[in-house]
Structure 1
Amino acid sequence: MIKFPYGISDFHLIRKEGYLYVDRSAFIPLLEDAGRQLLFLRPRRFGKSLLLSMLANYYDVRTTDAFSLLFGDLAIGQQPTAEHNQYLILRWDFSKVSAQGDIEQIKSSLFVHLNIAIQEFSLRYKSLLNHPVKVNGTDALGSFQSLLNMAQDSGYPVYLLIDEYDNFANDVLMQDASDERRYRNLLEGEGILKTLFKIVKASASEGKIARVFITGVSPVVLSDMTSGYNVATSIYLEPRFNELCGLTQEELIPLTRQVLTECGQDTTEQTNMLETLRQFYNGYRFCHRTEHPLVYNPTLCLYFLRHYQLESEPPRQILDGNLAMDAGRMRYITALPNGHCVIEQIMDDEHPVSVQALEIQFGVEKLREVQQDSRYLLSLMYFFGILTIHAISGLGNLVLGVPNLVIRALYVERLKRHALPRPQDDQLAEKLAEQFYQTADLQPLADFMEQKYFAVFSNRDYCWSNELTVKTAFLTLLFNDIWYIMDSETALQRRYSDLVMVIRPSMRHYATLKDFIFEFKYLKLDELKLTGEQLRGKSRAELEAMPQVQQALRDALSQLRQYRPVLEKKYQQPERLECLAVVALGFERVVWQVLSA
């Protein structure tokens, strides 16, 4: 059976104990040619730590005897570069640094981490160093400089690997978006993080550090350090490194086939498995060249495949808890000026957002300008992994979009929290949605929409109201990734105003669940020549009798008649398919009708 290294980023352990390793060693010569101080950015849980561990084992002078075991059957093992096993490796992982407390407490946590890494270095290379490293418990910067001096005296070059360089600084920034003082104290003037990177920069210039490889999530922290560390070569948008981290469809196909074989299942199930993985975990592109393959989130893929291997079925909860921290990124985004409006704009699939280029030289100061220019916020969302490059426009702009349904769920959750801040309303909405999945009776949910959901919309929302707004409102109430694949646009080659809810393949055995196609129409109050108060005073029968409403329903039902045969043919269960026409009258009332068979 495949041993999936879920939650394991130790390359030596993975190779020694026979865990699955998707070979990325062929990139080593490209990385050597790219520069001596490299910056590589990817979203969380994308395999950056494993990449650094692979590089550490490849370059470490102490792993020479294990080279054949670790790399013999990998691409680099056939043609190793001249630099393999030539370095003393110093590794820092800033995800281990606490962002809690005041600036002195954060500094103390950073110094503890640095000193532990320096002590480990000293012990590992004790036999190779002419003199011991002097570790100063209160001054880790002094300890670091002692290490570099002792390494230089020994004649061995140092390779510095820094994982998640911006992790604790980002945490400081996002704990309270309205209070940037602690963040600035880390990075500006003689801030401790800026000072540390100034030493790295100077030491590399002096030849005390031969190579540096830095991973992180965004360039914000580096930009805010300005001259503190402005010498790194940024490789994170280069097409040749698009697949340096993550998994491709080509790599997943044999894995899914083998897992099905191990479970004793027919490989015809592979189509459903691959479609589920694609809908929920695929969709990332890290360069402007659209001919490069889309990349899957590797952590979520391993979570899915390991669960399937153990239980012979996909996980019920499609979102692994390891990605839950990304919800904090989304909360931070919505707290920024204009952040909530940008999220609503992103949900408009018919009019996708685009930028001429991703902003890579911007700090926290620029994020304040999103009310005038959303490029900085959109770029930050790209680096966080909650937006990705979907396409290139006719003018060469980068068209951005939500990567997959797992990330779309984060957007939906933020919009739902905005509309339904009271937990009891949220719980009632979930209960009504579960009833609807089984009965196709939309009326209780429509009543809830009128009484609770529409009440939170402001006058600004009225100005921007359209079919998309109505679709988004229903999407937030009905979104459920346990039972459904939501908004499957390729299934119908449809217009974007529709909402499609298709039962997940692994959930189709629940006989009471139904598939749904929605067609939404929106009528403005001035079209109806009625006020909101007048609409609220009319019965549902009176609303349905209005000529404008009847015409909107006819138009919606006509479109549904075109869509229904596609899903009936695809899933071969026409008796489970419900087609609903929904007409919103301002943000006051909802009228709906089922397309008869």
Structure 2
Amino acid sequence: MKFSYGISDFYLLRTENYFYVDRTSHISLIEKAGLQLLFLRPRRFGKSLLLSMLENYYDVAKADEFESLFGDLAIGQNPTPKHNQYLIMKWDFSVVEPQDDVIDMRKSLHDHLNNSIQEFAAHYQNLLQYQIKIDPQNAISSFESALIAIKQTPYRLYLLIDEYDNFANEVLMGRGEISPSRYKALLSTEGSLKAIFKTVKSASSGRGLERVFITGVSPVLMSDITSAYNVAENIYLRPVFNDLCGFRESEIRSVLTQIVEECELSPENGQDALTLMQEFYDGYCFSERINDFIFNPTLVLYFLKHFQQECEFPRMMLDDNLAIDRGKLSYISGLPNGEPIISQALNEAPPLNLKRLANRFGVDEMLNAAKGNTFIISLLYYLGILSFNGKTALGKLRFKIPNLVARQLYVEQLFELFLPRETERSEAQLLAEDFYQTGDLQALCDFMEQRYFRVFDNRDYSSANELTIKTAFLTVLFDDVFYIMDSELPLERRYADLTMIIRPEQRKYPIYDFFFEFKYLNLSDVGLSGEKAREKSIDELKALTPVKQKLAESKKQLLDYQSRLESKYGDSLRLQLISVVAVGFERVVWEIVSKS
């Protein structure tokens, strides 16, 4: 079994016998959905492979290979009359380099379109009687020449456009040196993106173009070109397309069983692998009307390939080559409401919710300083770092971070925000690693008092609470190599503050599992000024009545949760229960909790 990690060529997958999860049953649904469709998914979610599947299914030049490519797949057993009935043209805007100068950007765009049209002409040279004329300065003219050639054949054109919003993503949230004004200029000038999509719309009115399928990450660009191209139907939220890109648990389970047998491992290894993949890769839902979660396919293939080759799990659950662009989360955290929303998403208290998802926002809204929750939460959803999670009692859409891979991005963003110096972050990580082995939190608490809490100012005191402290410790303690970390873990309808459960394959190392409960006291609650609080010893702080009450309350909760946690994970836990009480942003008191 060969895993198609990093491969988005359907023809190669099928002819070279790579592992392929059959999604061809959706082809008939796509046909019925409309003639010009927009389908959005986060990056690295298999959109390019989807387009390649459509290309091979509809390409008239591959009619002789239909049986070998599709015969044993769902659509091969029940093909639609449209198979192998189109001329296919592909545009991939991800290869168009967004330049700083609008003239250079326009040239890059037109060069790509011209190259695509030339490739089209070469591929169908035996079917085209009219010679397509390429205008090096104007790809719109070249495209119209191609339409003339197409009209003289018995076939019609199927246009596939990949990463249509690449310009908006790169210019507005990625490469900061590119002026957003250049992007706006590219939309408004002659021969611009808007003009190109206007031509696509015109081509569908009896000029040879019959179908268009567009993929992207967000609806940002679509809003900006609406006046030129208002015919695309959005299908990305429809329940029937929720798993069009992505893997189901049952599909992964069967493959893991085969790998376990090949590696001569125990069935428990297969279950451990599935548990890891659920925590790190599962949790995506792309329809507000269902609660059907799917796995990120690229990350799953990365795991499966490593597991098959090495007969052990990958140490890093997120391959560096697959890391989601953190620049986009950085862009969001820099917005006026960005940081609080990121913190709220991380803690899920309360869960993020909206009355409706924003499905139209353009460059002006991206550049506007005043951005509300709807804009930010919607954008986080489109980027794949939030996912639908059911509805509230009043029918609002509820959102959650889908998994630990996405959670890591939030944690890293806040970690760098609160500790901007690399030396401080390195020191914190070394202290955390020592804590994993000893269970002694004191050195880390000292660090929090002396370094971490210094980034908070007086404004933060008014909104400080247990979540503030928990978030601070979570960013320092987060480690996805050794732990499955969960904030607000549900335990029989109650929620634990923070759990750190050792990954199954890492139990060979001398580290502990941890279960935290966090409490917070204002300085006024203990009748101290910041200076007086700093002067007191740990024992003196613990002797204060409000602190003793919080520690007692925390101990009761931890012991109550302990049995629930052990019943969930079995007797393999090396569990340390830890109570943490913060006194303002000045001092941190902690203790290990055990049964009397």
> What TM-score does the superposition give when structure 2 sets the normalisation length?
0.97
Task: Return closer, same or farther for 1:197/1:224 CA change in 2, 3 Å cut-off.
Answer: same
Shift, 1:241, TM fit = 0.8
Would you say 1:54 and 2:53 are equivalent positions?
yes
Equivalent residue, structure 2, for 1:347 = 346
Following TM superposition, by how much is the alpha carbon of 1:176 offset from its aligned partner in structure 2, in angstroms? 2.4
Q: Which residue of 1 aligns with 2:232?
A: 232
- DSSP-derived class of the 2:161 partner: strand
Measured in 2, the distance between the counterparts of 1:369 and 1:396 equals: 29
Change (3 A) 1:496 1:106: farther
Aligned ranges for residues 211-222 of structure 1 at < 5 Å? 211-222=211-222
Q: Which residue of 2 aligns with 1:264?
A: 264
* 1:187 Cα deviation after fit: 2.0
Task: Show the counterpart of 1:394.
Answer: 393
In structure 1, the partner of 2:531 is: 533
**Corresponding position of 2:582:** 584
Alignment correspondent of 2:90: 91
Shift of 1:524: 1.1
Is the contact made by 1:99 and 1:169 (CA closer than 8 Å) also made in structure 2?
A: no
The answer (yes or no) to whether the contact 2:347–2:488 under 8 Å persists in 1 is no
More displaced, 130-139 or 49-58? Answer: 130-139
Q: For the aligned residues, what is the CA RMSD?
A: 1.7
Instruction: Work out whether residues 549 and 583 of structure 1, in 8 Å CA contact, stay in contact via their aligned partners in 2.
Output: yes
C-alpha displacement of 1:494: 6.7
Segment of structure 1 superposing worse, 412-421 or 559-568: 559-568
Aligned equivalent of 2:412: 413
1:44-89 Cα shifts (integer Å, max 9, x gaps): 0111000000000000000000000000011111111111101110
Partner of 2:248: 248
Task: Identify the range of structure 1 (149-158 vs 217-226) with the bigger mean alpha-carbon deviation.
Answer: 149-158
Tell me: CA distance 1:491–1:392, structure 2 relative to 1, closer, same or farther (3 Å): closer
Deviation (angstroms), 1:327: 1.1
Question: How far is the alpha carbon of 1:570 from its aligned partner?
Answer: 4.5
Partner of 2:36: 37
Matched, 1:426 2:425: yes
1:465 correspondence with 2:464: yes
What letter corresponds to residue 531 of structure 1 in structure 2? S
Give me the whole-angstrom Cα distance separating, in 2, the residues matched to 1:415 and 1:493. Answer: 30
Please report how far the alpha carbon of residue 190 of structure 1 lies from its aligned counterpart in structure 2 after TM superposition. 4.0
Report what 2:203 is aligned to.
203
- Corresponding residue for residue 80 of structure 1: 79
| Alignment partner of 1:188 is 2:197 | no
Give the 3-state SS of the residue equivalent to 1:230 in structure 2. Answer: coil
Q: Which runs of 5+ in 2 are unaligned?
A: none
Secondary structure of 1:228 counterpart: coil
The match for 2:557 is 559
2:336 corresponding residue in structure 1:
337
- AA aligned to 2:283 is G
| C-alpha spacing 1:431/1:572, structure 2 compared with 1 (3 Å) | same
SS of the aligned residue for 1:347 comes to helix
Indicate if the aligned counterparts of 1:9 and 1:53 stay in contact, CA closer than 8 A.
yes
| Superposed displacement of residue 461, structure 1 | 1.9
Tell me the matched-pair count.
Answer: 594
CA 1:29–1:552 in 2, change beyond 3 Å: closer, same or farther? same
What displacement does 1:569 show?
A: 4.3
User: Which sits farther off after the overlay, 551-560 or 490-499?
Assistant: 490-499
Q: Distance in 2 between matches of 1:150 and 1:308?
A: 50
Q: 1:108 to 1:234 in 2, by over 3 A?
A: same
One-letter amino acid of the structure 2 residue matched with residue 431 of structure 1: L
The answer for the alignment partner of 2:499 in structure 1 is: 500
What is the rounded CA distance, in whole Å, between the counterparts of 1:304 and 1:491 in structure 2?
27
Q: Contact conserved, 2:337 with 2:371, CA < 8 A, in 1?
A: no
Contact preservation (8 Å) 2:263, 2:311? yes
SS in structure 1 opposite 2:243? coil
How far apart are residue 231 of structure 1 and its match?
Answer: 0.7
Deviation (angstroms), 1:496: 4.0
SS across alignment from 1:359: coil
Q: What are the within-5 Å matches in structure 2 for residues 502-517 of structure 1?
A: 502-510=501-509, 512-517=510-515
Distance 1:80 1:569 in 2: 50
**1:393-445, Cα deviation, whole Å (9 max, x unpaired):** 12211101101011000000010011000000000001000000000000000
Displacement of 1:365 after TM fit? 2.4
**TM superposition shift of 1:372:** 5.8
Larger displacement relative to structure 2 (567-576 or 89-98): 567-576
Deviation digits for residues 254-311 of structure 1, max 9, x if unmatched? 01111111111122322211111111000010001234x2010000000011101011
1:247–1:177 Cα change, 3 Å: farther
In the TM superposition, 1:267-416 aligns within 5 A as 267-291=267-291, 293-367=292-366, 371=370, 373-416=372-415
8 Å CA contact 1:164–1:215 kept in 2: the answer is yes
Instruction: State how far apart, in whole Å, the 2-side matches of 1:323 and 1:370 are.
Output: 31
Displacement of 1:188 in angstroms is: 3.4
Report what 1:482 is aligned to: 481
Note the alpha carbon deviations across 1:337-394, whole angstroms, 9 max, x for none: 3212221222231300101111102223234567462101111110110111011112
2:269 maps to amino acid: E
Structure 1 CA distance for aligned equivalents of residues 153 and 250 of structure 2: 46
Percent identical among aligned pairs is: 52
Alpha carbons 1:129, 1:154 under 8 Å: kept: yes
Q: Secondary structure at 2:152's aligned position in 1?
A: helix
SS at match of 1:210: strand
Structure 1 residues 309 and 146: CA distance shift in structure 2, 3 A: same
Deviation at 1:228, TM superposition (A): 1.8
Amino acid at match of 2:591: Q
